[in-house]
Amino acid sequence: MSAVRSTLVGAVLATLRRDLLIAYRRKNDLLNPFMFFVLVATLFPIGVSPEPEMLGEISAGVLWISALLASLLAMDNLFRADFEDGSLELLMLSRHPLYFLVLAKNVAHWLVSGLPIVLVSPLIAYMLNFPEGAYSTLVLTLLLGTPVLSLLGSIGVALTVGLGSRGLILAVITLPMSVPVLIAGTLTVSQTLEGASLSGYLAIMGAMLVASFTLAPLASAAALRVSVN
């Protein structure tokens, strides 16, 4: 049993390392979602209003919407390269549970596309006149919410991986599932500014993360079997 477990851990780590190396070699896939997030968040005041008071009121929503759109932009890269070079079929034929291998790919995807957004968010928030005292809440909600966006988006990617043109279909599938995360994230930040207790809101976001961490790879694995076979 211990040998099987160690072999599974090795397969998961190898999948994680492979995806990170591929992302590092493809600089455009690595930088595009990050730059998109920065551009959308920083250009938003031009289309709305440069007034500091108004920017402070909408900054949390702007950051979360920008994170959601950047996540959608990065989603198409999750299984695309593996499907095109045939390694996705080899991954599905592995003797290891597909659940863990898909989960490893999701973790790698978040490290590449989600974590940089979380790290740069305080700087963008400062540029948008984000209210003082809520920066830690913003970073915490993004840490809880962006992995959920990646996990939920992987279901849509798995369903459409065999399609030639899948951008619009992917957005239609993914956006309805992502809206509750967007609402929870912005509501948590707004309640912080009003002095409310955050335990309940953070518990909801934590429950979303645990549920998506548990169920989304199962749904993605099943969708891959349907799409590829």
Render pLDDT for 160-181 as a digit per residue (tens, 0 to 9). Answer: 876 765 667 777 788 888 888 8
User: For residue 27, is pLDDT > 80?
Assistant: no
- pLDDT of 164: 60
- pLDDT of 147: 92
- pLDDT of 1: 46
User: For residue 4, is pLDDT > 60?
Assistant: no
C-alpha dihedral (180, 183, 186, 192), degrees to nearest 10: -90
Render pLDDT for 122-175 as a digit per residue (tens, 0 to 9). Answer: 888 888 888 777 788 888 999 999 999 989 888 888 888 767 656 677 777 888
> pTM value?
0.85
Assign 3-state DSSP to the chain and report helix, strand, coil percentages, each to 5.
85, 0, 15
| 209: confidence class by pLDDT, cuts 50, 70, 90 | very high
* Domain range list for the chain: 2-228
User: For residue 3, is pLDDT > 50?
Assistant: no
